[in-house]
């Protein structure tokens, strides 16, 4: 999730769930081509299994970016066909590409040709007035004919003009049935559903119809949700306790700070760890008020645990 997640966030989330598949925020193929690919694509080996999400519509640029990402060891390359922002549309990629499935299929072929790991697509159920089963089926049909076997579908349309990206994640209504119909029409494809899933019961409901569920905001705001999902749907590993997760982060935090990273760049992802628990506010406040200071040290995390216990 752009502006929210990064490699530190994924390292932390991996401690909560050893099996869940993690994804990077969208990285544009152009940025990889023109910019510092090493820093844009950097990740820790602990993050596996991890997919990188690429944005773009030029098959050659997308293939080059996919090759670089695959060489770095990503387990999956995902194409963004869901982002509605103006910035993205002017570059002609993201959700607006739903109207040009051939362009996405050309990118897919060029990318899959140059890497062994699966190339997958994240899309919406429609855009603007193109809000029908037929439109979504035509999109998926074109990609499936190109060889794509794995789709993640955000179960709401994107409105390309007049709504902000944030509104585009809340205003268009969710329509899970359309994603379920897609799976019924294409039982051989891996179809995962995304959008508005906030409980393990909702995951269970979705898994009765499709092959997987992608969780965005809930996992960020309440990362413990991932530990719950691990136990219930993945390895069955019983969730460790939250303080053990803090302690398990410490060696990583020390290593990152020694390499010049600022503490709050890591702890900002951990603010929700105790969401709903007694003392959670004290935990958040202790970190928010202190972790940005230049002299902040890793043990601030343990202090924040103490502050939480006192407040609880």
Q: Looking at the annotation, which residues are catalytic?
A: 83
Instruction: Tell me if 47 sits within 8 A of 19, measured CB to CB.
Output: no
CB-based burial label for 159 (10 Å; 0-12, 13-18, 19+): buried
State which of residues 18, 21, 25, 239 lies at the interface with ligand FMN (CB under 6 A): 25
Residue 112 within binding range of ligand FMN, rule CB under 6 A: no
Instruction: Tell me if 245 sits within 8 A of 16, measured CB to CB.
Output: yes
* Residue 237 DSSP class: P
User: Helix 176-185 crosses helix 133-146 at what angle (to 10 degrees)?
Assistant: 40
Identity of the residue, 11 or 225, whose beta carbon is nearer to ligand FMN in the bound complex = 225
- Smallest separation (angstroms) from ligand FMN to the CB of 213: 9
Identity of the residue, 125 or 300, whose beta carbon is nearer to ligand FMN in the bound complex = 125
Residue 194 within binding range of ligand FMN, rule CB under 6 A: yes
- Smallest separation (angstroms) from ligand FMN to the CB of 212: 13
- Smallest separation (angstroms) from ligand FMN to the CB of 265: 16
How many residues sit in the footprint of ligand FMN (CB under 6 A)? 21
- Take residue 235 and report the two structure tokens written for it: 């390895």
Residues 126-145 that bind ligand FMN (CB under 6 A): none
ω before 49 within 30° of 0 (cis)? yes
- Smallest separation (angstroms) from ligand FMN to the CB of 250: 27
- Smallest separation (angstroms) from ligand FMN to the CB of 33: 18
State which of residues 51, 56, 59, 82 lies at the interface with ligand FMN (CB under 6 A): 82
CA 145 to chain centre: 26
90/242 Cα distance (integer angstroms):
43
HEC profile of 178-219: HHHHHHHHCCCCEEEEECCCCCHHHHHHHHCCCCEEECCHHH
Measure Cα distances from 247 to 4, 162, 241, 267 in Å. Answer: 23, 45, 10, 13
| CB closest to ligand FMN, residue no | 216
- Smallest separation (angstroms) from ligand FMN to the CB of 5: 8
Identity of the residue, 93 or 304, whose beta carbon is nearer to ligand FMN in the bound complex = 93
Measure Cα distances from 106 to 26, 139, 146 in Å. Answer: 19, 13, 8
Identity of the residue, 146 or 153, whose beta carbon is nearer to ligand FMN in the bound complex = 153
Measure Cα distances from 182 to 125, 141, 175, 197 in Å. Answer: 10, 10, 12, 18
Residue 215 within binding range of ligand FMN, rule CB under 6 A: yes
State which of residues 216, 231, 297, 302 lies at the interface with ligand FMN (CB under 6 A): 216
Residue 91 within binding range of ligand FMN, rule CB under 6 A: no
Residues that bind ligand FMN (CB under 6 A): 1-4, 25-26, 53, 80, 82-83, 122, 154, 169, 194-197, 215-218
């Amino acid at each position: 999730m752009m502006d929210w997640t990064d490699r530190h966030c994924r390292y932390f989330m991996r401690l909560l769930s050893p099996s869940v598949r993690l994804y990077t925020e969208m990285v544009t193929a152009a940025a990889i081509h023109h910019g510092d690919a090493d820093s844009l694509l950097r990740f820790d080996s602990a993050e596996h299994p991890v997919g990188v999400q690429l944005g773009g519509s030029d098959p050659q640029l997308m293939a080059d970016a996919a090759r670089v990402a695959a060489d770095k060891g990503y387990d999956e390359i995902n194409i963004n066909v869901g982002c509605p922002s103006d910035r993205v549309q002017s570059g002609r990629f993201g959700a607006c590409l739903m109207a040009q499935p051939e362009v996405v299929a050309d990118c897919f072929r060029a990318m899959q040709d140059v890497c062994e790991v699966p190339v997958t697509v994240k899309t919406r159920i429609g855009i603007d007035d193109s809000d029908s089963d037929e439109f979504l089926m035509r999109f998926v049909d074109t990609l499936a004919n190109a060889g794509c076997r794995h789709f993640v579908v955000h179960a709401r349309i994107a409105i390309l003009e007049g709504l902000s990206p944030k509104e585009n994640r809340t205003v268009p209504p969710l329509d899970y049935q359309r994603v379920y119909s897609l799976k019924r029409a294409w039982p051989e494809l891996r179809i995962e559903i995304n959008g508005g899933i906030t409980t393990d019961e909702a995951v269970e409901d979705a898994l009765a119809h499709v092959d997987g569920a992608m969780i965005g905001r809930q996992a960020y705001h309440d990362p413990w949700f991932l530990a719950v999902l691990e136990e219930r749907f993945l390895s069955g590993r019983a969730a460790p306790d939250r303080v053990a997760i803090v302690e398990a982060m410490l060696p990583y935090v020390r290593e990152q700070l020694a390499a010049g990273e600022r503490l709050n760049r890591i702890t900002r992802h951990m603010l929700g760890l105790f969401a709903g628990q007694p003392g959670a506010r004290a935990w958040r406040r202790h970190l928010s008020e202190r972790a940005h200071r230049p002299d902040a040290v890793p043990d601030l995390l343990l202090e924040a645990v103490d502050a939480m216990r006192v407040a609880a």
